[in-house]
């Protein structure tokens, strides 16, 4: 995966989330009115909360280091406090896959509206 500068989506609007067979397409309208598409390919798991009219993006990040995404993974898998402390085996395997670049975490943080956390094989722009 090439490095993508996701700073362009700061203050953009998330207009559409389209679920396909094994991928998700996100459509953004940037501040300059251009359209920016992000494809989350090979979706393993996704959490999307509070999609609203006028979704405004604070930041978007691709995380490929498990030490930097533990809180997001806890949220994605809806772990309770006991599970967070146990470090379930399946979560340890997912962290290994993140560290070996088999999977990445995509995080869309809102200024207003939708927060999205996705565990997928790759993130591409189109």
How do residues 97-119 score in pLDDT, each as one tens digit?
A: 999 999 999 999 999 999 999 99
State pLDDT tens for residues 41-72: 999 999 999 998 889 999 999 999 999 999 99
- On whether the pTM is more than 0.85, the answer is yes
Determine the Cα–Cα distance for residues 53 and 46; give it in Å rounded to an integer. 20
What the block records as the tokens of 47 is: 């959490």
What is the phi/psi pair of residue 121, to 5°? Answer: -80, -35
* CB distance 122 to 57 below 8 Å: no
Domain definitions of the chain by residue range = 6-125
């Amino acid at each position: 995966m090439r490095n993508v500068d996701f700073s362009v989506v700061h203050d953009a609007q998330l207009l559409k989330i389209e679920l396909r067979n094994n991928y998700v397409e996100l459509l953004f309208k940037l501040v300059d009115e251009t359209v920016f598409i992000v494809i989350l390919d090979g979706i393993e798991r996704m959490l999307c909360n509070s999609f609203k009219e006028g979704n405004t993006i604070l930041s978007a990040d691709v995380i490929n280091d498990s030490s930097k995404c533990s809180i997001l993974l806890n949220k994605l898998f809806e772990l309770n406090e006991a599970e967070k402390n146990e470090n379930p085996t399946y979560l340890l395997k997912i962290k290994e896959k993140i560290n070996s670049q088999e999977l990445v975490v995509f995080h869309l943080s809102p200024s207003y509206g939708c927060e999205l956390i996705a565990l997928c094989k790759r993130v591409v722009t189109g």
